[in-house]
Amino acid sequence: MHSVSFYSFRILEKKGSKKSRKLDDLKKTNGNSAFIEVESFLKQNTNKAINRPLSKSLIFLDGKGSLTINSNRQLIHGYVKVGKYGESAEITDTTLGTLKLKTLIDDITLRERYVLLYLPDGFDEGFVAIHSNDNISARTVLFESIIQYFKDNYDLEARFNPLCHKKIPDYILDSEVKEIKAIGFETPSDVADSFGQIKTHIHSDLVIKHNEGFFGSFRDLNNKKIGNVIEIIEEQCDEVKVTLRIGSRDIVFKYSSILKKGISAELDDSDINIDASTGIPNVNDLHNTIVDISNEILLDIHSQNQGVII
């Protein structure tokens, strides 16, 4: 499942500070804004592999137009190639007694993942959207590398944090609940032996669909018996997801992330037109879908400033 998670980008006034600098007034960058500096970082690393050993992954910034840089909008968006390496597995064959075989995979398969960075002048908080699929995204390497760039060049403390609403917005609270899904995993009794027998975690879904308006809105979940159902299934499963009707589309949220006010959403495959041969979404459809969701979030966060829009 393709998903998108949202983050804030800030430059702290000093290490440990709760206050942030304006993105176009960083003091130490010879008048350059955060957008210009991030653009400079990307250009310096074009056609290079950026590696973060602790994450066992790298990103490759392709110079063939995969990233669009819009200076007028202080907006950067497009595909980044991501790969993992050094993944290992331990295999036990029960017929061989105590013999264990280890495999180490160092070949890297690069996969394209979409990123969007919006760093408007005059604000102390930028907006970042990171696309993920199969638990692979550019988030860790990209974030850590940009943080290190500001540290090494200007001794500035950059921070990426999960984007949070000040409160759960009304457009989510009032949205119609279309479906509730409880997701669970059962681990094999012998994890090592499961590799040899080509077994993996057992995955199961419990889906509760909308039935003649019984769910009502997300706000109603706290007031109806269905709220008790969620409490019960949360205790028995790994994750609960809710599908909400927002505007003209259904958007899937993790139930816990709404309550914690973190912002992430799963994307409908039909909206992003995935190429069946490559598994890669159409870049324009993916961009448009993420921009639509982003603008809804920005409107909620910056409701007093209608000019903040991608």
The pTM assigned to this predicted structure is 0.72
In the chain, what percentage of residues exceed pLDDT 70?
76
DSSP per-residue string spanning the chain: --EEEEEEEEEESSTT-S-B--TT--SSSTT--HHHHHHHHHHHTBT-EEEEGGGTEEEEB-TTT-EEEETTTTEEEEEEEEEE--EEEEEE-GGGTT-EEEEEE-----EEEEEEEE--TT-S-EEEEEEEBTTB-SHHHHHHHHHHHHHHHH--EEEEEE-B-SS--HHHHTSEEEEEEEEEEE--SSHHHHHHTT---EEEEEEEE--TTSS-BTGGGGTSTHHHHHHHHHHHSSEEEEEEEETTEEEEEEHHHHHTTB-EEE--HHHHTB-TTT-PBPHHHHHHHHHHHHHHHHHHHTTT-TT---
**What's the pLDDT tens digit per position in 27-53?**
898 899 999 999 999 999 999 889 877
Residue 46: its pLDDT value, please? 92
pLDDT higher than threshold 90 for residue 101 = no
Q: How confident is the model at residue 199 (pLDDT cuts 50, 70, 90)?
A: very low
Residue 209: its pLDDT value, please? 74
Residue 56: its pLDDT value, please? 77
Q: Lowest-pLDDT range, 94-98, 193-197, 252-256? A: 193-197
Q: What is the rounded average pLDDT of the residues 188-200?
A: 46
**What's the pLDDT tens digit per position in 210-244?**
666 567 788 877 665 656 667 667 666 777 888 88
Q: List the chain domain ranges.
A: 3-162, 170-301
